[in-house]
Amino acid sequence: MVGIGCIIFLLVFCILAYHRASLIIWTISYALLLILATCFDPHSIFLLISWIVFLIIFIPLNFKPLRRRWISAPLLNLFRNVMPTMSRTEREAISAGTVSWEGDLFRGNPDWNKLLSHAPARLTEEEQSFLDNEVETLCGMLHDWDITHNRLDLPETVWQYIKDKGFFGLIIPKEYGGKEFSAYAHSQILIKIGGVSITAGSSIAVPNSLGPAELLLHYGTSEQKKYYLPRLAKGEDVPCFALTSPVAGSDAGSMTDHGIICYEEFEGQNTLGVRLTFDKRYITLAPIATVIGLAFKLYDPDHLLGSKEDIGITCALIPRNTKGIKIGRRHFPLNTAFQNGPIRGKNIFIPIDWIIGGPEKAGKGWKMLMECLAAGRAISLPASAVAGGKVLSYMTGAYARIRKQFNMPIGKFEGVEEPLARIAVYTYIMDAVRTFATAAIDCGEKPSVASAIVKYHTTELGRKLACDGMDIHGGKGICLGPKNYLGRGYEAAPIAITVEGANILTRNMIIFGQGVIRCHPYVLSEMEAAKLADAREALITFDNVIMKHIAFAMSNAVRSLILGLTSSFIVQVPRGKMKRYYQQATRFSSAFAFIADVCMLVFGGSLKRKETISARLGDIVSYLYLLSSVLKFYRDQGSNVDDLPLVRYASLFCLFEIQESFHDIIENFPNRPLAWILKFLIFPLGERFSKPRDAISHKVAQLLISPTATRERLAAGAYLTDQPNNLLANMQDALIKCIASEPIEKNIRLAKKDGGVTGYTLTEQAQSALEKGIITADELAIYMQAEEARKKIIAVDDFTNEELSG
């Protein structure tokens, strides 16, 4: 009987924990269970002990004064001792932005119907018209080799077109003369342009990203908005924003650029203002900018603004012609031609009302920047990476069918199928996650953690697929010139890795470090409670939260074990072909929430310095977010059956990476007995996921080397218009011709093998086949057109020394 009783008690425990029952439900359930058991066996010693344990546990838990005194007060003191110290810039970064779907993933029980009900990304008629007309026209004006080799800049006609057609005002409201486009439209525009010219894409991205326009929109005074926004929208002013300095890159807190509040003569009057000294570098558009957004530390030693001396990071707008500014020289980032350079100034005086938002916003610059970056980081750089992925998948798939070795298209070699599949899948994942993020922004979110995930993973995947593309193209890829559509993107791939938060920093410190505070359902509330000055209020607030947190952690431990034992088959998720991926994602979400709490408990405030563990925790939530995006993208695109190999590969890839991140955390966990417990609870039946199999790689590769609907969907949004200088259109034309010619070539080769035709080259053999009636004149014409197209595609450029000198 005792054994049965233990089993029943354990079963009730698991059911209540799995369903996250409230404390009152726990109390009533066990009380009823004990009463029922007592009726059957009132003299049992086991029941007596059970009643004693029940009363010891549940009386203090339900009687709040006792609970607060005996449980919550010691925990509050412990929490205060282990709570990490944070700098002002860290606190402002963490508080920036909003939480959306990533919060569900941290809670361990994502609501998939909520995900699928999110409004899909859509373009308005005006936005679609702009893409079909102005953007198409601009793409037709761009000749990348001329831009990157001959000019090292955009032609003046292109600059003027960009300004005249409002490309610098995509995010500026219509009342100020801008386009007021959505984040998704902004992203689509950058994808189409960036796939043709990285220089043009970057030059348009910066004015519409983290910079003067966005800062003015959210924080500028009415006078600043009325003056600057119409000028920026029309291209009368070209903006840049200067944040990075030689000693302060990712660590903005170490910035030495500073301003002192003082009175000086300005335009003949004694004026309150700021005397600035700064040294900035890596500033895109700086060489041609007419208005400079500047971040600096502001000090008020004479207390002209108030009692505070160290006011903090502040942002100001400064005209280029301000006396003392040194600007115009250029950096040369990896052979790309976009304007980028340093800005310096020493003892430059600006009026106090040049601070963005006026004196009231002095010292609030870092928070302003982080709030803007929370959304902007999900747009510009991801769009650039997706642009590269779309072009690369479209071109490499076709090239692998057109290019032959050993009388067979190279895309049919298993060794080439593997990287081809990765190119297609990575592009699909990148497109899915940037679409999901921009749609969230258009719904009013400023997803700071999600934007870090999107920026990091799109740029990292972009770098990987650039390498795969180069491997497949070989010599065609390394010879630069007008015929090369791969080289400049390959060169530029590391640039996106370094900006708007270096990827190493983003992975190791931001995604989980910021995410666990903002997205965890209880940690931020606990931290706020611990900071309360009133001891009684702090204890009451902390008690309410910590009890929920303990139940949450216990529930996730149980859910991890149960879902691991059942392979998550019991989870209720949307029906369909993707059902198992939803279920497995739920399992890993619960396991992630559990292991995150364990890591916080074990490491406390030192977790922020355990960067490899923090990075792997970030990887788990990142791949859960990528997987969620893929599943939603597939649904939003109509659940096309043809795309199933792509979606299955992408889902298996994400699940495998999640498993590997769990594995690495557990294997490197310093407390080995606890590591064994973690492994049992998370992987009770072992690690069951593997990399996508060769068979699915083969299916994906075949979708890419043929003119399939899936291939067209992958490339959707790229510049595919049939124009003489558009290499993508030329490649598509060659692909269709070469596929049409394949059965003809096969007949010729069979005839050659049987001795039916003569000739040393395929062209001679084709002519012989015609003469002997093996092929028709129409078939010969098809074959010759295909060979001509093939030669053009595989051709590379050559130059004289004078031509190479540029």
Residues of 19-33 as b/e, b for ≥16 C-beta within 10 angstroms? ebbeeeebbeebeeb
- Alpha carbons 437 and 439: distance in angstroms, whole number: 5
Tokens read off for 7 = 């089993």
Tokens read off for 436 = 């999901």
- Alpha carbons 558 and 572: distance in angstroms, whole number: 17
- Alpha carbons 99 and 503: distance in angstroms, whole number: 21
Tokens read off for 183 = 């984040």
Q: How large is the C-alpha radius of gyration of the chain?
A: 31
Write a three-state SS string for 347-362.
Answer: EEEEEHHHECCCHHHC
Q: How many CB atoms lie within 10 A of CB 526?
A: 21
Q: How many CB atoms lie within 10 A of CB 668?
A: 12
- Alpha carbons 399 and 392: distance in angstroms, whole number: 10
Q: 450, 511, 452, 546: which is closest to 83 by C-alpha?
A: 546
Residue indicated by tokens 């490649």: 731
Tokens read off for 70 = 């005996």
Question: Which residues make beta-bridge pairs with 239?
Answer: 291
Amino acid, single-letter form, for residue 523: V
Exposure of 192 in the CB half-sphere (CA atoms within 13 A): 22
Q: How many CB atoms lie within 10 A of CB 48?
A: 12
Question: Which residues make beta-bridge pairs with 355?
Answer: 316
- Alpha carbons 424 and 431: distance in angstroms, whole number: 11
* Contact (Cβ atoms closer than 8 angstroms) between residue 748 and residue 782: no
Catalytic hit among 102, 127, 214, 500: 500
Is-catalytic flag, 771?
no
The DSSP symbol for 149 reads: I
* Sign, CA torsion 38/41/42/45: negative
- Alpha carbons 799 and 602: distance in angstroms, whole number: 63
Q: Find the angle CA(86)-CA(503)-CA(585) to the nearest 5 degrees.
A: 90
Q: Find the angle CA(172)-CA(174)-CA(175) to the nearest 5 degrees.
A: 105
- Alpha carbons 191 and 197: distance in angstroms, whole number: 10
Q: Which sequence positions are flagged as catalytic?
A: 500
